[in-house]
Amino acid sequence: MTTDLDRSAPPAESERAYGDLVRGIFARRTTNGPFRPDPVRVEHQHLLVRVAGAAPSHFNSQPWRFVLVEDRDTIDRVAHLSGDSMRQLIERGVFFERYRKYFRFTEAEMDARRDGIFIDHLPGPLRPFTRQVFSDAGLSVMRRLGVPARLGRDNEKLVAGSPLLLAVLLDREEYRPGELSGFYSLFGMGAAMENVWLTVGELGMGIQFVSTPMEIPEAWAELARVLRVPDHLELMAVYRLGYLPEGQARPSIDWSSRHRKRLSQYVYRETCETPERD
Ligand SMILES: Cc1cc2nc3c(=O)[nH]c(=O)nc-3n(C[C@H](O)[C@H](O)[C@H](O)COP(=O)(O)O)c2cc1C
């Protein structure tokens, strides 16, 4: 469903007032649906890691490392870990407990906050229970309807159907949590990944976090073993990528959102006491 809230930029910005870069930034999306099965061209893979490497970093330390994964067996193992983590997170109620605060159930709620995820696309059997999905009663309904297993299978299929995985790692010499260099490394990695995310759009590709294994420490450790991550590197994130099919349908639960805060909700003028005018 497209609503009036469904935009991240005023019309002037989404039209021709600015150049390709600005339009590309506003057009960037998280891809929740399937990719075409075609392999990602090696020059596109290299472009993605080169734009990542062009990001700023503290003292030009370039603390990021990447693994490009196309091997079928490895992708299947990651897909299985991802789907099974999704199933466990939903089944145990961990997901909803951890993240319920990000879900919005009405347009009025969304319009007031303009952040989080708007629940307008629950799987069919759950639609009558929209408001209950995050309650204990809702959870048992979901278990009875086999929703955790279904979401797990959907997730496994999406990851397995991706022709390319990209793992992002940080050099532990720089990534020292609690120290400034740890913070700087994260900052640089975020910039690097944003470059990838923006370039993906230009190549007709999509990208999505494979995040569920990260939520379960044993699954994340297993993923690091699958990728043979050595001691001096820390596995930070895994993404799935591929070329986008025409007219992509929305998945059973759409975790992404186009809604964005108004300037007055996140920008101040001169001091933190004066919100910027919209
Ligand atoms: C640190 C971080 C973690 C995220 N985790 C996930 C995720 O687990 N699954 C997913 O589909 N999207 C994930 N996203 C994407 C957000 O859901 C998405 O950026 C947000 O809903 C806005 O949608 P958009 O990217 O399409 O503009 C993540 C984004 C960031 C920056």
Q: Quote the ligand 1 centre to 209 CA distance (angstroms).
A: 7
- Report the separation in Å between the CA atom of 172 and the middle of ligand 1, taken as the mean of its atom positions: 25
Averaged confidence pLDDT in the chain: 89
Tens of pLDDT along 98-113? 888 898 888 898 889 9
Point out the ligand 1 atom lying closest to the alpha carbon of residue 197: 25
Q: What is the pLDDT of residues 219-245, one digit of tens each?
A: 999 999 999 999 999 999 999 999 999
Residue 133 or residue 24, greater confidence = 24
Q: Ligand 1: distance of its center to the CA of 171 in Å?
A: 24
Measured in Å, residue 31 CA sits from the centre of ligand 1 at 9
Whether residue 211 has its Cβ less than 6 Å from ligand 1:
yes
Q: Which residue's CA is the nearest one to ligand 1's atom 9?
A: 209
Ligand 1 atom 16: residue of nearest CA: 256
Q: At residue 173, does pLDDT exceed 70?
A: yes
Residue nearest to atom 4 of ligand 1 (CA): 209
Is there an atom of ligand 1 within 6 Å of 3 CB?
Answer: no
Instruction: Report the pLDDT value the prediction gives residue 248, as an integer from 0 to 100.
Output: 67
CATH topology of domain 11-266: NADH Oxidase (3.40.109)
Using most ligand atoms within 8 A of CB, pick from 14, 30, 241 the residue to mutate for ligand 1: 30
What pLDDT was estimated at residue 224? 98
CA 136 to ligand 1 center in whole angstroms:
26
- Under the banding of pLDDT at 50, 70 and 90, the label for residue 129 is low
User: Which of 82, 209, 258 for a ligand 1 pocket mutation test, highest count of atoms within 8 Å of Cβ?
Assistant: 209
| pLDDT value of residue 145 | 85
Which DSSP string corresponds to the chain?
---TT--SS-HHHHTTTS-HHHHHHHH-----S---SSPPPHHHHHHHHHHHHTS--GGG---EEEEEE--HHHHHHHHHHHHHHHHHHHHTTHHHHHHGGGEE-SHHHHHHH--SEE-----GGGGGGGGGTTSHHHHHHHHHTTHHHHHHHHHHHHHHT-SEEEEEEEETTT--TTSHHHHHHHHHHHHHHHHHHHHHHHTTEEEEE--GGGGSHHHHHHHHHHTT--TTEEEEEEEEEEEPPSSPPP-SS---------HHHH-BSSSTTSBPP-
Residues 87-95: what's their mean pLDDT?
91
Per-residue confidence band for 84, with pLDDT thresholds at 50, 70 and 90: very high
Q: How confident is the model at residue 15 (pLDDT cuts 50, 70, 90)?
A: low
Q: What is the pTM of this model?
A: 0.90
